[in-house]
């Protein structure tokens, strides 16, 4: 073998060695490292997704707790889920569960009835009936997390009774809610004459029994770590709602009785029979303010809660006449609409201007609360 052939053979062996080394390096080092790096990237992305989902769930939980802070203490304020006489680990039969559920329903039913009596609903009108029991839907063989018990309430009372009941209900340290509420003028549903100031109330109330809640022998918990704030903060005086009754309007003051001095001469001419101004206008309510793009103007509607019927449409152009009649067909208010926008309706009556905002009743704004010149200037209204 010549020197040249020896050199070529050595070079070939070296090249083969390098190729083998490169292959071994790739298969035993570079490829596993690349695969591990790809797996790490995938896991990191998956971790980011899971952390995002966790943050979203935490946000949802905070949102739920903001709506109903009581849920943060569900273990303490759930209705008692088990009979406290039954020890942990003891076998509980279906008969025992049903017996405990009936006892809880009776206690809660009495609690609701007492709450309505404390709110001064008429005792003979109070009715509390137990509705259906709804269990959480779970897979076969698993225990439901909670049971929802429904109750139907009915009663008759004034608006102050309704607000007092709802305030006490929301303050109660129990995991419950008012699902539906329907309120009518007393007697109105049957077509009879409504009793002044009284309301017929129907509600559906739901309460939860959560299986993992703490056991207790009483319906209400004896002590909580803190009282959840479920009403407005800072506190409100909900009794003020009765000062402007949305069902009956503002009640006018009793008129003073005056004795007419004796007069001699011919008897005065008999005046036409009229209804007191306040008895007519305290039921007239501004129910809507809206912009009509086709007419390029603001429009409003006024509704007579006593007579019912269609709403009266108003604007300051074609429908600016605001004339209201009493039950004797006498004019109680003769006014003209002069201004309407997204916040208010302004009308002129008896040479003065008056403003109604959404939800306002005509009385007592007219005739007690005329607008001052400064308010008229801000709206560009020229006083006569």
- Residue 66's pLDDT is what? 67
User: What is the Cα–Cα distance from 169 to 49, expressed in whole angstroms?
Assistant: 41
Shared domain for 294 and 184, answered yes or no, is no
Q: Please indicate, yes or no, if residue 85 is contained in any of the structural domains.
A: no
User: What is the Cα–Cα distance from 26 to 35, expressed in whole angstroms?
Assistant: 12
- Greatest CA separation found in the chain? 164
Shared domain for 104 and 238, answered yes or no, is yes
Shared domain for 361 and 288, answered yes or no, is yes
Shared domain for 120 and 240, answered yes or no, is yes
Note every long-range contact of 175-178, with CB atoms under 8 Å and residues 24 or more positions apart, other chains counting: 175/70, 175/71, 175/74, 175/77, 175/78, 175/79, 175/207, 175/208, 175/210, 176/79, 176/205, 176/206, 176/207, 176/208, 177/68, 177/205, 177/206, 178/203, 178/204, 178/205
Shared domain for 103 and 213, answered yes or no, is yes
3-state secondary structure of 197: coil
Domain final residue, candidates 194, 222, 244? 244
Domain final residue, candidates 219, 244, 269? 244
pLDDT category at 87 given cuts 50, 70, 90 is confident
Shared domain for 98 and 239, answered yes or no, is yes
- Residue 2's pLDDT is what? 77
Rg (CA), the chain: 38
pLDDT category at 191 given cuts 50, 70, 90 is very low
pLDDT at 263 over 80: no
- Residue 70's pLDDT is what? 67
pLDDT at 68 over 70: no
pLDDT category at 64 given cuts 50, 70, 90 is low
pLDDT at 109 over 90: yes
Q: Other CB atoms closer than 10 Å to residue 111's CB: what's the count?
A: 16
User: What is the Cα–Cα distance from 43 to 21, expressed in whole angstroms?
Assistant: 32
Q: Please indicate, yes or no, if residue 19 is contained in any of the structural domains.
A: no
CATH of the domain at 165: 3.30.70.60
Shared domain for 293 and 238, answered yes or no, is no
- The pTM for the full model equals 0.53
pLDDT at 141 over 80: no
- Residue 190's pLDDT is what? 44
Please answer whether residues 366 and 346 qualify as being in contact, where contact means their C-beta atoms are separated by less than 8 angstroms. no
User: What is the Cα–Cα distance from 293 to 312, expressed in whole angstroms?
Assistant: 20
Please give the average per-residue pLDDT across 284-291, as a whole number. 93
pLDDT at 162 over 60: yes
Shared domain for 293 and 345, answered yes or no, is yes
- Residue 237's pLDDT is what? 85
Give Cβ neighbours of residue 54 (< 8 Å, ≥ 6 apart). none
Q: What is the mean pLDDT of the chain?
A: 84
Q: Please indicate, yes or no, if residue 147 is contained in any of the structural domains.
A: yes
The domain in which residue 115 lies consists of 94-244
Domain final residue, candidates 224, 244, 264? 244
Residue position matching structure tokens 């009596």:
117
pLDDT higher for 38 or 303?
303
pLDDT at 138 over 70: no
Shared domain for 306 and 176, answered yes or no, is no
User: What is the Cα–Cα distance from 31 to 153, expressed in whole angstroms?
Assistant: 72
Angle at 296 between CA 292 and CA 301, to 5 degrees: 40
Shared domain for 235 and 194, answered yes or no, is yes
pLDDT at 286 over 90: yes
Q: Please indicate, yes or no, if residue 119 is contained in any of the structural domains.
A: yes
The conformation of residue 245, written as its DSSP 8-state character, comes to B
DSSP string, 129-173: EEEEEEEPP--TT---SEEEEEEEEEEEEEHHHHHHHHHHHHHSS
pLDDT at 172 over 80: yes
Q: Please indicate, yes or no, if residue 298 is contained in any of the structural domains.
A: yes
Please give the average per-residue pLDDT across 341-347, as a whole number. 95
Domain count, the chain: 2
Residue position matching structure tokens 């009493």:
326
Q: Please indicate, yes or no, if residue 320 is contained in any of the structural domains.
A: yes
Shared domain for 237 and 355, answered yes or no, is no
Please answer whether residues 356 and 344 qualify as being in contact, where contact means their C-beta atoms are separated by less than 8 angstroms. yes
Q: Please indicate, yes or no, if residue 185 is contained in any of the structural domains.
A: yes
Give 296's Cβ-side CA count (13 Å radius). 0
> H or E segment at 70?
none
Shared domain for 222 and 284, answered yes or no, is no
pLDDT higher for 231 or 76?
76
The conformation of residue 272, written as its DSSP 8-state character, comes to P
Tokens of 15: 């090249």
Q: Please indicate, yes or no, if residue 76 is contained in any of the structural domains.
A: no
Q: 51-65, 235-249, 316-330 — which is least confidently predicted?
A: 51-65
User: What is the Cα–Cα distance from 155 to 157, expressed in whole angstroms?
Assistant: 7
């Amino acid at each position: 073998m010549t020197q040249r052939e020896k050199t070529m053979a050595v070079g070939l062996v070296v090249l083969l060695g390098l190729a083998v080394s490169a292959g071994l390096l790739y298969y035993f080092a570079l490829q596993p490292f690349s695969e591990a790096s790809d797996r790490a990237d995938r896991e990191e992305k998956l971790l980011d997704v899971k952390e995002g989902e966790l943050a979203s769930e935490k946000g949802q939980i905070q949102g739920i707790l903001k709506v109903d802070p009581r849920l943060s203490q569900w273990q303490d304020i759930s209705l008692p889920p088990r009979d406290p006489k039954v020890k942990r680990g003891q076998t509980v039969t279906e008969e025992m569960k049903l017996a405990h559920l009936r006892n809880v329903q009776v206690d809660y039913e009495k609690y609701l009835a007492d709450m309505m009596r404390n709110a001064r609903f008429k005792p003979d009108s109070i009715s509390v009936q137990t509705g259906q029991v709804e269990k959480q839907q779970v897979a076969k063989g698993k225990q439901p997390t909670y049971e929802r018990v429904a109750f139907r309430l009915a009663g008759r009372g004034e608006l102050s009774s309704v607000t007092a009941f709802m305030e006490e209900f929301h303050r109660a340290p129990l995991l419950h809610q008012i699902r539906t509420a329907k309120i009518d003028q007393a007697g109105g549903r049957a077509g009879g004459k409504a009793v002044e100031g009284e309301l017929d109330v129907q509600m559906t109330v739901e309460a939860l029994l959560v299986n993992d809640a703490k056991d207790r022998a009483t319906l209400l918990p004896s002590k909580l770590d803190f009282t959840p704030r479920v009403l407005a903060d800072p506190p409100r005086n909900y009794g003020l709602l009765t000062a402007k009754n949305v069902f009956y309007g503002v009640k006018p003051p009793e008129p003073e009785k005056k004795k007419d001095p004796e007069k001699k001469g011919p008897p005065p001419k008999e005046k036409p029979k009229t209804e007191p101004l306040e008895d007519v206008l305290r039921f007239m309510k501004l129910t809507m303010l809206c912009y009509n793009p086709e007419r390029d103007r603001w429009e409003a509607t006024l509704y007579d809660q006593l007579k019912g019927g269609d709403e009266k449409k108003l604007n300051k152009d074609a429908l600016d006449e605001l004339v209201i009649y009493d039950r004797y067909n006498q004019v109680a208010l003769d006014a003209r609409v002069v201004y309407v926008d997204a916040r208010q309706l302004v009308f002129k009556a008896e040479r003065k201007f008056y403003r109604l905002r959404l939800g306002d009743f005509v009385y007592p704004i007219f005739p007690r609360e005329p607008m001052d010149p400064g308010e008229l200037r801000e709206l560009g209204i020229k006083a006569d």
